[in-house]
Structures are given as structure tokens and as C-alpha cells.
Structure 1
Amino acid sequence: MSAFSISTGIVALAEIGDKTQLLAFILAAKFKKPVPIILGILVATLVNHGFAGAIGAWLTSLVDPQTMAYILGVSFIAMALWTLIPDKFDENDAKLAHFGVFCTTLIAFFLAEMGDKTQVATVALAAKYQSLALVVAGTTFGMMLANVPAVLFGNKAAQKIPVKWVHGIAAAIFAILGVVTLIGAMKPELFGTFTTYTG
């Protein structure tokens, strides 16, 4: 699968029930203006994930590929565990000064996404695939897939989604990525050991 499709799927699943999706519900209920809210989410995500992806791409230049593969493998497994922990939402994230619907959404989303699991996932995915544009496009699209219905349909849509199952699927994908990445990192060592014993 491509960097875009993996990034889209994993972020869309991880975002279900996430604090930024809860923020989308609150902003939609508060302002009742879906278009500027959706545009605010889009711009905030592009800027935030663009920054995160750039960090991920930069990190690959600091260490050798095998060491990076070990770091990413462990990081993806840690992300799998983190995804299973329910998010807590601080309503202060939605109580910004009134800058208009678009600017309020932009600022609130950008701040709420800082250090969030989907931002951290973007860093790791950009480092793994070394394709900044495709990863950021994918993670942004995944965020929009999860949050646009939240803005348009509100809590009624959320109540029909089995959040634990969705998070379980996202965690499984993170775990598989982690295991596959670690196996890929260990291949040279495994083959080297095999050659030593058979030589």
C-alpha cells in the first residue's frame, strides 16, 4: 500500500473519538456554521501536519537507516498502545476569544493537535516513507474523513460508531507497521548470523 493510503487510513481511524474530533463536535454545536469550521480544520491540519512531516523527514537525516528503522518500529508499537487509551477533552480548548468562526477553529485545532497522537503519527509516517507530500496529504485527508461528518452530523453520527473497535483496528495497523519495520531492520543481522553458522 502507498504512503498516502496508509497515512489516510491510520489517521482516520485514530481520529475517531480523539480530542480533536470532540472539539469538532463542540465547535459545530457552538457556531452552527459548518463551512468555515471545515475550512479551519483543513488549514490547521495542513499547517500542523506539514510541520510534523518536515520533522519526520529531517529526523531521517540524523541517523543511519537501520537505527531509524528500530526507532520507528518501537514508535509504531508505542502508538498502538497509545491509540487504545481514551482521550480526555478539555473544554478550554474550545473557549478562545472570538476571532470569527474560521480563525477560532484554526487556532483551536492547531493547538489541540500539538502533541496529539495523529501529529506524532505524522512524524513517524513521514520518517518511515520519506515522502513528505504524500504523508501530509494522507494524514490531512484522514483527519477530514473523520472530522467533516463530525461537523455536519454531530453527536448522532458519533454515537453509531463503535469507537473501541475502530481504535482496536487503528492500534492493530500501528502494531503491524511496527513489527514489519522491526523485522526489516533485523534482516541484515539475521542473514549475517545465518551466513556465519552455515559458513
Structure 2
Amino acid sequence: MDWNLLGLSFVAVFLSELGDKSQVAAIALGGTSNHPRAVFLGTAGALLLTSFLGVFLGATTAQVLPTQWVKLLAAVGFLIMGLRLVLTPAEAD
């Protein structure tokens, strides 16, 4: 097992999930439920499943497409999202 990769993956996902809307939803569900253990198991299971799907799709894509193409597609996707965030006017409340 590559312990450095394990640690890097843990830190990256942990930090990216802090303050995420899924965490806010878990807080809301846990605060209104009489069964916090069920909320924990449900949210943990959902995070595990989405992480598994991401790793599976990433590994499959890496086997089908050259690495440079995957990096280029990711860069273009992030560029498009960034431009949309910058150029889209904010809605007035």
C-alpha cells in the first residue's frame, strides 16, 4: 500500500468536504433526528459510494484515454466553470 497516497487522498477529501453542503445537510438531519447513528451511517455510506464511483470512473477513463487528454479535458472543464462564475451576473435578493 502506498501510505503517502493514502494520506494525501484522505487530507484532500477531508479538507474539500469541510463546510460542504453535504456536511450542512448532515448537521441539519442529525439535529432534527432522534437517530443520529442512522444519519451518520447514511451520510458515511453516501460519501463512500460517491468516492468509489469517482475512483472507478477515473481509473477506467485513465485506461481508455491518454493521460494528457484527461488533464486537458479537466483543465477545459475547470476553465469553463470558472468563466461562468466570473461572467455570470449575481442575482439580486
- TM-score, normalization by structure 2: 0.66
**In structure 1, what is the equivalent of residue 46 of structure 2?**
44
When the two structures are aligned, how many residues end up with a matched partner?
Answer: 78
**In structure 2, what is the equivalent of residue 59 of structure 1?**
61
**Partner Cα distance (1:14, 1:65) in 2:** 24
The one-letter amino acid paired with 1:9 is V
The one-letter amino acid paired with 1:36 is A
**Partner Cα distance (1:15, 1:32) in 2:** 24
The one-letter amino acid paired with 2:61 is L
Tell me how large the CA RMSD over aligned residues is: 2.6
1:29 equivalent to 2:34? Answer: no
Equivalent residue for 2:14, pick from 9, 12, 18: 12
Identity of aligned residues (%): 23
Listed as ranges, the gaps of 5+ residues in structure 1 are 86-199
**Partner Cα distance (2:22, 2:62) in 1:** 28
**Partner Cα distance (2:44, 2:11) in 1:** 17
Listed as ranges, the gaps of 5+ residues in structure 2 are 86-93
**Partner Cα distance (2:11, 2:64) in 1:** 28
**Partner Cα distance (1:66, 1:25) in 2:** 40
- TM-score, normalization by structure 1: 0.34
